[in-house]
Structure 1
Amino acid sequence: MLAKLTWEYLRTRLWEVLAVVVLQTMAAIASLNLPDLNARIIDEGVALGDTDHIWRLGAVMLAVTLGQSVATAVAVFLGSRMAMGLGAWLRHRVFTHTQDFSAQDVHEFGAPSLVTRATNDVQQIQMVVLMTFLIMIQAPIMGVGGVVMALRQDSHLSLLLVVVVPVLALVVGLIMGRLAPLFQVQQTRIDAMNTVLREELSGIRVIRAFVRQPLIRARYRDANDQLRQVALRIGTLFALIFPAVTVIISLSNIGVLWYGGHSIENGESQIGALFAFINYLGLIFMAVMMAAMMFIMVPRANVSAIRIAAVLDHDVSVRGPGRPAPAPEGRWTFALRDVSLRYPGAEDPVLDGVSLEFAPGTTTGVIGSTGSGKTTLVNLIPRLMDPTGGSVTANGVPTTELDPAELRRHIAMVPQRAYLFSGTIASTVSGVPDPDQAQRERVIRALEGAQAMEFVSDLNQGIDASVEAGGTNFSGGQRQRLTIARALYRSADLFVFDDSFSALDYSTDARLRIALPAYTEGAATLIVAQRVATIRHADCIVVLDDGRIVGRGTHAELMGSCPTYREIVASQMSEEEAA
């Protein structure tokens, strides 16, 4: 999987890949020739006292070294550029593909795991590709070439290689076999750690409010200990491999010096050949160590490649049609026709037989207990998920036949959780990094409609005041009003407010609802709420219970015909207020 994933990008840089291979091959050949030249200088120059020969061979060695340095430098530059480009390409693909994920798709992987795959997993692949270009191309050339050149220097000493190289390969192979499965466990436990951290950071206020710090500490400690255990096992094997290889190399050098010394004493070998053989032995061991390093990194990177490929190959559950139907003209009227939705593996549907229509200029309120399916209903309209039964239509055209981007341009949605992007108030409301004067005027108008100008005007920089990621520098009510302003800034045929008034006080809630018709400009409005006061004046109120519509009508009609609605009203209002 690792080779398949990386080749998709590298084949677009084929000439650069070939250039790196050629340059690294040239550098390896140059490295293999340097010990031979050094041996010749000793045996043909120093031993015979031929100074001119020493200078000539020294100049050749200098030229070879210079060529090796240039080839290596260019290869490192090209290899690094391709590796970094591969990382950017993978992150872009993962990011853009996950942008098409529906709520079910995100839930299948989990947000923490998706973050890990787009960062840590991509980094593992990027590092392996970089090290491949830097050392792995040279490793087999250095290993095989070192053996050949060592045989040329002294065939008797080369018998040591028959014993040393297999022993070294056996030690490295045994350790690598233990490391490979541990990397899979490590990535899974990194996901678990990210999940714990994300939940604890996002729910820190709830944790403090319910004094759950001891439980959360224990939960974090358990996840951390599990990650530490596998990291220690990996670290232990890492710590074992290098001393083991060093011992083998040291024993080999002792054997070469002992045997080579006797050969020189007997006149069977020359001093230069002995030095060259030791150098070649070092090159062979270095090649084995480079291969071992790659064997350490490749299994982990392959695990990361499988995890990234799982995201990229995931079939998005909400997909645009191959040939979208023409967009309806004029105002769009959205409707749900006998809609049902059942999550995979669930016994009961979340929604069952829901039929609604949102005509232009009308306000529809939806109310129900927690878990009654209100947010699921809202998510069906802009195709954040698709129903398992029935259909959602726009001017009679099923939304599954429309381009999702075109569909969502006609819907202005305020989600249940108020979230603001970093920047300024003007940029987060308009969605434009640097809005012009006309856009700034629209921002001010949207803020007025959302009843947000009363606190924005008090800020030193007004609409140019900074907004931190998530809007954490504003209170909950201020964030909600800014997200409402972001929706009112748009021109849409349907405005959806998913429990968007819950953080507002009653007076601000009332002023905002009274002002809404002037800012929605004749569009349909859907308000999902838990407070009766928010939707009691709606043209039509829909009461949901266990995913089914149990009541439909105005406030007065429901008070007389819907027991569920009366129970909700009785829990929030006195008899005088409800009348």
Structure 2
Amino acid sequence: MFELLKKMKRKEWLTAGLCAILVLGQIYFDLRLPDYMSDLTVLIKTPGSAMSDIWQTGLEMLGCTLASALLAVICGYLAAQTAAGFSYTIREKVFNQVADFGQYEMQQFSVPSLINRTTNDITQIQMLVAMGLQIMIKSPIMAIWAVIKIINKSWTLSVITAGFVVALLAMMAIVIAVIVPRVRRVQKLTDNINRVSRENLTGINVVHAYNAEKYQAEKFEQANDELMRTQLFNQHGFAMLMPAVSFAMNTLALTVYWVGASIVEKVALTDVAARIATFGDIMVFGTYATYVIMSIMMMVMIVMFFPSAQVSAGRINEVLNAKITLREGKSDNAPEVGTVEFKDVSFHYPTSDKDVLENISFKVNKGETIAFIGATGSGKTTLISLAARFYDTTSGTVLIDGKDIKEYTFDALYDRIGYVTQKAVLFAGDIRDNVLFGESAAVPTDENAQKALELAQASEFVEKLPGKLDAPISQGGSNVSGGQKQRLAIARALARNPEILIFDDSFSALDYKTDAALRKGLAEKLGGVTCMIVAQRIGTIRNADKIVVLDEGKAVGIGTHEELIKNCAVYREIAMSQLSAEELGA
């Protein structure tokens, strides 16, 4: 928690400091009230007291009360401002940190967990800061100050008060020790319930198609029931605290007055002044003792929030302290243009020791097209992920434009690349926002967007939409078909005017006619752009300048379509499973 508080901005620290000063003022005025009560008691019990003195003391009490209330309002406002600013800062840091995550870091944290950490966990901390700035400062100072005020008034009553305080603190310690581990479990169970809900909503069509509503409901009920039982245990534990403190406060007040009555009784009846003074001291002692218990009651309120906030702080720090494995270089320039070269590249995922790519070497020059084909799981997507530097190689070197990919700044690298993912991803907004998404060397104009849409064979359906470029796209592109979504994703890559285009099986959602028209347009209008294509269709890649055939992570063939038909058994098997001998030219 304290590690997270170090990230608070200077302005927020100043506001928190001012709030702490105001809390001290509030405590001063609150603790002046018992003294005035003692004075009033003496004035009322003393024969011949002037009414003006009683009125003056009463007005001073009222002034203290109003001053305390005013400081409480101002402090509450400052505390809320500090908590909101702090949560804003942390949320921004978490978002920016996650935005810098590579594929490896994303595997360490699930998406539902990251969303939960960015929302619920930060809200828990915000609530603690808002309450803590007032209560965590006020309660211990008030308790200590009250103890100092009463310590010399009666040792008997002081010992009784100390016994109540020790008992309450011991009970708080036991409750915290039992509940904190379960609070951590609650956070994990919340992540789990978010995961189940997300899966059900994402795959709702599959759930309906397979009549799996009951199965999904049972899975959710199991996760929900486990979360409920854990939370109930925690709430039952916390539910003991507040009644116990209230009972202790009332019992202590009753004990103080009962014991105090016997103390007053021991004072001689003839010594009226002494009896009145002792009675006033007992009244003041009872009030201060109540303040001590009230301070503990306020601490109980913090105790109920602190375990959750502490666990949330740890989860947030896990994200903020996550080591980013991909670090950008410092270079912007390159000796070549539009070239991609793999030099003896091998790669295995951080969670495995088995290489998924072994000793891959090839080079593609500016304006050429290189294609990758192979069975499912042969490493095609992994290979082009290395070209886009989603991972770093285990061994070997990937060069873009004649320079090691690790030497580029991220801006310089991705300005050179247009990447189309295997699964098309669209963002909520409109078509213009999606096509001109992000920053690149290209000018983000409507004309550029129209050209990209036309080349991607998407202008036909975009022109029919109401609003055209302003036509809305819902979250995830759920209001367009799979083929339309894929063409918009391709248009987004083309609008960047890149040197190198990478297509990760991006033509699979297109019909053959659109696929052929798109490839023809790319060849005619982007002759100087280097293309890297992962595909399953022989028809998509047969005209490529080079074709790399992958089998279990190894390049078992590199050449043209005609060369591989003759010399590569794996390629020939794939080709003959899709096309006839006449179509293959055999």
State the TM-score, normalized to the length of structure 1: 0.93
Q: Paired residue for 1:8?
A: 7
Mapped to 1, the partners of 2:61 and 2:342 lie a distance apart of 81
The reply to whether residue 504 of structure 1 matches residue 510 of structure 2 is yes
Kindly report which structure 2 residues correspond to 1:49-198, keeping only aligned pairs within 5 A, or say none: 50-151=50-151, 156-198=156-198
Mapped to 1, the partners of 2:11 and 2:525 lie a distance apart of 51
Mapped to 2, the partners of 1:9 and 1:222 lie a distance apart of 39
Kindly report which structure 2 residues correspond to 1:268-347, keeping only aligned pairs within 5 A, or say none: 268=275, 272-321=280-329, 324-328=330-334, 331-347=337-353
How far did residue 155 of structure 1 move? 5.4
Kindly report which structure 2 residues correspond to 1:521-540, keeping only aligned pairs within 5 A, or say none: 522-540=528-546
Q: Which consecutive unaligned segments of at least 5 residues does structure 1 have?
A: none
How far did residue 214 of structure 1 move? 4.1
Match of 2:435 among 429, 432, 456: 429
The reply to whether residue 412 of structure 1 matches residue 411 of structure 2 is no
Mapped to 2, the partners of 1:9 and 1:83 lie a distance apart of 10
Q: Paired residue for 2:368?
A: 362
C-alpha change, 1:123 and 1:283, in structure 2 (3 Å) is same
The reply to whether residue 520 of structure 1 matches residue 526 of structure 2 is yes
- Asked if structure 2 preserves the Cα contact closer than 8 Å seen for 1:495 and 1:520, the reply is no
Mapped to 1, the partners of 2:174 and 2:487 lie a distance apart of 62
Deviations 1:513-555 (A, max 9, x none): 1111344351101111122222222222221111111222222
Q: Tell me the amino acid that sits aligned with residue 191 of structure 1.
A: D
Q: Paired residue for 1:494?
A: 500
- Asked if structure 2 preserves the Cα contact closer than 8 Å seen for 1:179 and 1:296, the reply is no
The reply to whether residue 384 of structure 1 matches residue 383 of structure 2 is no
Q: Paired residue for 2:461?
A: 455
Deviations 1:5-49 (A, max 9, x none): 202325564433322221111111111111221332233147655
Q: Tell me the amino acid that sits aligned with residue 382 of structure 1.
A: A
- Asked if structure 2 preserves the Cα contact closer than 8 Å seen for 1:264 and 1:271, the reply is yes
C-alpha change, 1:156 and 1:134, in structure 2 (3 Å) is same
How far did residue 431 of structure 1 move? 2.1
Mapped to 2, the partners of 1:353 and 1:54 lie a distance apart of 96
Residues 453-462 or 356-365, more deviating: 356-365
Q: Paired residue for 2:271?
A: none
| Number of residue-to-residue matches in the alignment | 574
C-alpha change, 1:67 and 1:519, in structure 2 (3 Å) is farther
Residues 260-269 or 48-57, more deviating: 260-269
Identity %: 36
Q: Secondary structure at the residue paired with 1:178?
A: helix
Residues 415-424 or 548-557, more deviating: 548-557
Q: Tell me the amino acid that sits aligned with residue 565 of structure 1.
A: Y
- Asked if structure 2 preserves the Cα contact closer than 8 Å seen for 1:447 and 1:482, the reply is yes
- Asked if structure 1 preserves the Cα contact closer than 8 Å seen for 2:356 and 2:553, the reply is yes
Q: Secondary structure at the residue paired with 2:6?
A: helix
Q: Tell me the amino acid that sits aligned with residue 319 of structure 2.
A: V
Mapped to 1, the partners of 2:453 and 2:19 lie a distance apart of 57
Mapped to 1, the partners of 2:292 and 2:137 lie a distance apart of 14
- Asked if structure 2 preserves the Cα contact closer than 8 Å seen for 1:339 and 1:392, the reply is yes
Q: Paired residue for 1:476?
A: 482
Q: Paired residue for 2:272?
A: none
Mapped to 2, the partners of 1:516 and 1:145 lie a distance apart of 80
Q: Secondary structure at the residue paired with 1:417?
A: coil
- Asked if structure 2 preserves the Cα contact closer than 8 Å seen for 1:10 and 1:82, the reply is no
C-alpha change, 1:519 and 1:428, in structure 2 (3 Å) is farther
Deviations 1:457-503 (A, max 9, x none): 11111111111121111111111111111111111110111111111
Consecutive aligned runs of 4 or more in structure 1 exceeding 6 Å deviation: none
Q: Secondary structure at the residue paired with 1:364?
A: strand
How far did residue 347 of structure 1 move? 4.3
How far did residue 372 of structure 1 move? 1.0
Q: Which consecutive unaligned segments of at least 5 residues does structure 2 have?
A: 268-274
How far did residue 116 of structure 1 move? 2.0
